[in-house]
Amino acid sequence: MPQTRPNPLHLAAAALAGMLGAAMPAAAQPSPDAIVDAFEAALGPIRTHRPSHPKGVCAAGHFTATPEGTRLSVAPVFSGQRNTALIRFGVAGANPNASDSARGTRGLSIRFESPSGDLFEMANISAPVFGANTPQALVDGLLSRANDPATGRPNPERAAAYAAYVAANPSVGNQGRYLAANNPPASFATTPYWGVNTFLFRGQDGQQRPARWVFEPRAGVERLTAEQMQSMGPNFLADELRRRVATGPVEFDMVLQFPGQGDDLLNPTVAWPDDRPRTVVGRLTVTSVEAGPGGPCDPISFMILDQAPGIEMSDDPVLQARAAAYAVSLSRRTP
């Protein structure tokens, strides 16, 4: 019988998962497979779409660093030359038919490609904090909502244990409190998107600086009213973005924020105070949007998270676990 040749995407993803999963001691974090298994237990099998923000629209554009960005990072993406950008806007949840009016995060994922072919990718959300402070907390939170195969219902002991963890670590609830206090975006183009994790930027002076970033909409922040949340319907965001881009580009300023004394660099559930130093390091411009769902964004997991030495991952355990879990997820949904 003829042998089936392995998909090279599967091989590359598996290799990356192995390398990155070994970057931290096994006791420090669950394995990449365990993280994806937890998503599948809570949200269903990952076979046709990504487990988080599966509903989305693909767009394209470009990114150019400001002189400050070039000063603060020697990475190719910050050279000052125009980088092409493949951009995906997404809606939170595991349902590819999720409502655009629902509370929850919106996503902005970007693949930058420099003129010399260097790639850099990132995934950002429309909340200033993440919903888990460690990979294990992420897994435990997902499993606390998963149905027990034996009963078909969530395991009360598991749910109680996670509730006790949240009570002892109140910052884990910061994202939920932010989303409860802020109505959903009226447009993909009118919400900030935060990176939430700390990265290390090496500047032209050789100094390495920890920083977090946010993409701030140049159109300003606009949220749905309570009435619009009831009347807008489940599928307005993609079409609204297409209409907006048809009349002119959508733009975001990339802003770096730098920590102050005592700020936690490694906990993405805690935002740094607003009075910390900030500087604009680049401009993202969206120039076109796919006419329908799918497109070149679909097979991309946005897991090339650094351009060392100009941009490197910090020791934030959630960040360290991200790329390997993305690789496993990609391998499971790629034929």
pLDDT of 211 reads 98
Helix, strand or coil, per DSSP, at residue 185: strand
The DSSP element (H or E) to which 35 belongs, if any, is helix 32-43
Predicted local distance difference test score (pLDDT) of residue 327:
85
Model confidence over 113-142: pLDDT tens digits? 999 999 999 999 999 999 999 999 999 998
pLDDT reported for residue 19: 37
Six-digit token pair at 127?
A: 């909340």
Q: Are strands 55-65 and 278-289 parallel, antiparallel or unpaired?
A: antiparallel
CATH architecture of 8-333: Beta Barrel (2.40)
CB 154 within 8 A of CB 202: no
**Hunting for tokens 């300023």 — which residue is that?**
253
- Look at residue 24 in the predicted model and tell me its pLDDT: 40
Q: How many other CB atoms are found less than 10 A from the CB of residue 179?
A: 18
**Two tokens at 208?**
């390495």
Please name the amino acid found at residue 300: I
Predicted confidence at residue 21, as pLDDT, reads 41
Confirm if 162 and 140 have CB atoms less than 8 A apart. yes
Other CB atoms within a 10 A radius of the CB of residue 167 amount to 10
- Residue 45 is predicted with a pLDDT of 80
CA 136 – CA 141 distance, rounded (Å): 8
Q: Which two tokens stand for residue 223?
A: 């949220």
Between the CA of residue 3 and those of 6, 13, 160, 335, what are the distances in Å?
Answer: 9, 21, 48, 16
Spell out, as residue ranges, where the chain has pLDDT lower than 70: 1-28, 47-48, 51, 334-335
What is the rounded (10 degree) CA torsion for 35, 36, 37, 42?
100
In this structure, the chain runs to a length of 335
Structure tokens that stand for 46 in this block:
């990952």
As a whole number of angstroms, the distance between CA 92 and CA 237 comes to: 13
pLDDT for position 13: 38
Please give the pLDDT value at position 3: 37
Q: How high is the pLDDT of residue 80? A: 97
What is the reported pLDDT for 191?
A: 98
Q: Which pTM does this prediction carry?
A: 0.89
pLDDT at 5: 39
Question: 53 an active-site residue?
Answer: yes
Which residue among the candidates 10, 49, 53, 62 is catalytic per the annotation?
Answer: 53
Strand 278-289 to 208-217 pairing: unpaired
Task: Kindly list the domain boundaries of the chain, sorted by start residue.
Answer: 8-333
Report pLDDT for 28: 56
Q: Interior CA angle at 187 toward 184 and 192, to 5°? A: 70
pLDDT value for 48: 67
